[in-house]
């Protein structure tokens, strides 16, 4: 069946090519451009290529700067506001002048990293739960301990860290 359809498709393609050759008149003279017109066209093409390359370089530079400042790809996707967002990020990350500002900036960065790692741990725990479900379906035993088991073993460490943070805040 496939061979039959391929053969019909091939024949249709051949007939359309033959029809196209009959329908198009052949013009042998008058279609070429003069040397001056060709040179002018090439100059226009070169200018456009240079302009496009320049725009692409600028976009690449903006994307690189945005990634360095930690902007997400979805924010980078709209190039219209990238300059404004970069300026806002730079102002937000202005160098702190006093020790308290430095400590506050460090605390903010640490909290952001902590939040990120907590999200990663929750994601891994979900994946492990899903894999454990698959193991149950297959009737096999899980070989390594879960990340949630490891977290449940270490709640004393988090309580200790919270009490230290509270004493630091009270000292301020």
Residues 61 and 88 in one domain: yes
Residues 88 and 124 in one domain: no
Residues 74 and 108 in one domain: no
The total number of structural domains that make up the chain: 2
Residue 11 within any structural domain of the chain: no
Residues 81 and 105 in one domain: no
Picking from 50, 73, 94, the residue at the C-terminal end of a domain is: 94
Contact status, residue 121 vs residue 151, Cβ threshold 8 Å: yes
> How far are the Cα atoms of 39, 150, 155, 162, 169 from residue 102, in angstroms, in the given order?
61, 33, 30, 21, 15
pLDDT in tens, 61-100: 877 777 776 666 666 666 666 667 777 777 766 776 788 8
Residues 65 and 83 in one domain: yes
Higher pLDDT, 77 or 41: 41
Picking from 94, 114, 137, the residue at the C-terminal end of a domain is: 94
Torsions phi, psi for 34 (to 5 deg): -75, 165
Residues 102 and 90 in one domain: no
Domain housing 142:
95-149
**What's the whole-model pTM score?**
0.33
Residue 14 within any structural domain of the chain: no
pLDDT in tens, 101-138: 889 888 999 999 999 999 999 999 999 989 888 888 88
pLDDT in tens, 26-40: 555 556 788 899 999
pLDDT averaged over every residue in the chain? 77
Residues 137 and 119 in one domain: yes
- DSSP designation for 139: T
């Amino acid at each position: 069946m496939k061979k039959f359809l391929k053969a019909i498709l091939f024949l249709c393609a051949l007939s359309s090519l033959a029809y196209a050759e009959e329908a198009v008149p052949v013009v042998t003279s008058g279609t070429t451009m003069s040397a001056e017109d060709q040179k002018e066209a090439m100059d226009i093409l070169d200018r456009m290529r240079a302009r496009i390359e320049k725009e692409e370089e600028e976009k690449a530079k903006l994307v690189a700067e945005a990634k360095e400042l930690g902007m997400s790809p979805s924010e980078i996707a709209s190039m219209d506001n990238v300059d404004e967002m970069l300026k806002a990020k730079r102002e937000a990350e202005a160098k702190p002048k006093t020790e308290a500002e430095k400590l506050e900036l460090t605390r903010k960065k640490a909290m952001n990293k902590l939040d990120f790692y907590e999200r990663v741990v929750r994601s891994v725990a979900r994946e492990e739960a899903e894999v454990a479900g698959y193991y149950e379906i297959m009737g096999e035993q899980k070989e390594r301990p879960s990340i949630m088991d490891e977290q449940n073993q270490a709640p004393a460490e988090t309580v200790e860290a919270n009490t230290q943070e509270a004493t630091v805040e009270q000292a301020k």
